[in-house]
A and B are shown apart, each in its own frame.
Chain A
């Protein structure tokens, strides 16, 4: 589906201004300007999109309406109908989630000699990790160092990050890069044998290692292969739908739900690592998302019911450049590295309006301002609006951005010749379960790693920092979970007593017993879309 004829006027202006824009300098915003732009245009600041939690550890805090609904719902299992006395599986460490963080945790727990079981909702590797395009940031070059990475990350997060978690992130970064290389990941190289590094928003150094524009795919393929080589047991299509506590109040396992047979399975574990990912498929404020089909915040829901606290859940990341046209690719990611390689953000009239290497929340807010207050967005026949990402500015697109090039080629759009129409799309949940530097949550025996954990990135994550965080905290969670699991002398009686309490609380605030969660999968049938108002 090539561009509709009425785009031509705007496309001509983009072409006509391209040469002139190359030499144009756009100043970065001051702290005050940035704060105002975000407060005026970022979706997190729309009060109608937020609700105040009425129950649980974060009672009284603001979170997105769709997430509040998932939290304030009854369990999909009846605690009185499950026999917890004869677990179907017993393991030292249970890992919930088969993406980058879960696989890193499983490999590391095995490395520490533990008995491991990994369970996941869809197939092993079906996760947001696999969809990451840009790359992974690590301060490895002589021109760079962890101190600079720290400053960039904490400034990019508007000083809301938990400092200890950022320190751990940047200090473990170089070791993680080496760990991945030793497992056989093919990173990009320069002709002189040095690792290729890319620029991206908010970073003061080129520090993003890439595998073309398919970095996540390459990482996930290698991790999955290694997991299979080590014959780590894995249950697919079996999401965790509740956590189990033992009589000391520690997390001691989980209830799984077989998506195909609708059976429940009980797993007893010495420690549990939650690596179940983010929230995008709840479609916060109706936004499209770059996220995987399974990103429905399940882990957050079950951990919250069991008493684990959340942080920064009022903060959602909208990636500035999600696809708007063709309609079939709506919301899909166009990596930030394209801006790092010189692509401009350009409005209807062919004008730039923001320094493209500002952080994501800043660029996204500026794109929204262009399409709303300034009326300089390009309208599509299907009622969406966007601004241009001027890709023809990038030399040799087909070498570095082969995935994106191919995807658009199928719709007769040649991104070497024509720009891409983009608009902010939900991309990442900045917040999550509150953790320590050892990845332990406020619930003893429960660890969290990856997007389900919060506080590391503050209220705005920089590009390339989440692929790093999943491995840093996946590995740390595993090391500490193995220690804790080893200390459990005589396993206590498993219980779902916390559900009774939570349900009573829901009942007390008048929530209908028909409302159930976790969501598990979005419903895109006509009936489902109607029910969600999408």
Chain B
């Protein structure tokens, strides 16, 4: 990684090592980031980046921590993008799909342009997610949007001016609450703990010296993979 290539960060030219991520390149250029940098591992969506490369008229995007620099790349890391989030109290919901539609009626203004899908740095089928939300198919929304890092790029491009990632967020929570099973054994265990069933067993261990604990630990049976 010793060859240097030119990049333009906020319009100014810098020479950076070939192959590094956009985030490393910007730091190599002397910028200490405050906004536009978070987990540095592709999970948090803080570093949504828009760029262009020479010879291509199209706008491109990526997460700065996950995208390698290309020679001549013209880069801006988005510090923030305003987004509407509807407020709700999920505990009082009766009809999840009706609620979702009333929280975000703008989803029905989708023009089908697919700009959201094209821009998603996680390669999520954003337009299909919105179509599933319109149909009230919460499971499909949840499955298709599960890897969403809420970076905001879809909201920045939507012609209908909606915030797809917040719509998917509400749909996922509704899916978890209304469709996923809630196994009884969880409740049973909580009840057992409340009744103090494990209290004496564990308190007995608190009395033990290390030698005794070591014996119990070494002898414990281990479930197979």
Contacts and interface: CB of A to CB of B under 8 A. Distances in A.
Contact of A212 (B46, B146, B174): B146
A521 B193 contact: no
Contacts of A292: 38-40, 44
Given A155-B217, A163-B206, A184-B176, A328 B24 contact: yes
Nearest to B142: A186
Interface residues of B, number: 76
B46 to A, nearest CB: 6
Interface of B: 1, 19-21, 24, 27-35, 37-44, 46, 66, 68, 85, 87-91, 122-123, 142, 146-150, 169-170, 172-177, 180-183, 185-190, 193, 198-199, 201-203, 205-206, 210, 213-214, 216-218, 220-223, 225
Given A145-B198, A181-B182, A410-B66, A151 B217 contact: yes
A204 B222 contact: yes
Nearest to B148: A221
B40 A293 contact: yes
Interface stretch (A49-57, A172-180, A479-487): A172-180
Contact of B90 (A30, A184, A189): A184
Residue in B44, B142, B222 whose Cβ sees the most chain A Cβ within 10 Å = B44
Contacts of B218: 30-31
B27 A527 contact: no
Given A151-B220, A184-B177, A292-B39, A221 B202 contact: no
Contacts of B183: 193-195
Contacts, number: 202
Interface residues of A, number: 88
Given A154-B213, A206-B223, A402-B147, A147 B198 contact: yes
Looking at A1, A293, A523, the one whose CB has the most chain B CB atoms below 10 A away is A293
A225 B169 contact: yes
B187 A178 contact: yes
Interface of A: 1, 30-31, 122-123, 125-126, 130-131, 139-143, 145-148, 150-152, 154-155, 159, 163-164, 167, 170-171, 174-175, 177-178, 181-187, 189, 193-195, 199, 204-206, 211-212, 214, 216-218, 221-222, 225, 228-229, 231, 237, 259-260, 290, 292-293, 327-329, 332-333, 340-342, 357, 382, 402-403, 406-407, 410, 521, 523-528
B30 A204 contact: no
Contacts of B202: 146-147, 150, 167, 170-171
Contacts of A237: 34-35
Contact of A221 (B19, B169, B185, B221): B169
Contacts of A142: 185, 188
A152 B220 contact: yes
Given A204-B220, A293-B39, A328-B21, A217 B149 contact: yes
B82 to A, nearest CB: 14
